Amino acid sequence: MSLFLVEYTYAPEKNAARDAIRADHRAWLTDLLERDIVLSSGPFADGLGALIIVDTADAETVALLFTHDPFAIADLIANVRITEWVPVLGQFSV
């Protein structure tokens, strides 16, 4: 099984704007979690970004899907990195 890691990097000067729509962002992620597309998600401890583990067919699907994130729509993500990941041990491995 291949999964995709979506790494967000945040610009600190946009923290207030992210805080204002964080509930919408989390509702969007919760919908994907309930549909078994997102497996796990959370911010980095330093507050400068987040990691989302996604189960989809390919990187292009991930990229298109994440254009619908309220944070992306409001231009509140400084950088997005999508990396294919092949887990071989642990709870995410087959």
Write the single-letter amino acid at 7.
Answer: E
CATH number, domain at 44?
3.30.70.1060
CB 5 within 8 Å of CB 14: no
CB 10 within 8 Å of CB 77: yes
**Inside any domain, residue 51:** yes
Structural domain count, the chain: 1
pLDDT of residue 38: 97
Taking residues 7-27, report their average pLDDT.
Answer: 96
**Inside any domain, residue 14:** yes
pLDDT of residue 93: 80
Sheet holding 79-85, edge to edge: 38-43, 49-54, 3-9, 79-85
Residue 25: give the domain boundaries. Answer: 3-85
pLDDT of residue 1: 61
**Inside any domain, residue 26:** yes
pTM for this predicted structure: 0.93
Q: Over the stretch 26-68, which tens digit does the pLDDT of each residue have?
A: 999 999 999 999 999 999 999 999 999 999 999 999 999 999 9
Question: Measuring CA to CA, how many Å separate 19 from each of 2, 14, 22, 63?
Answer: 32, 9, 5, 23
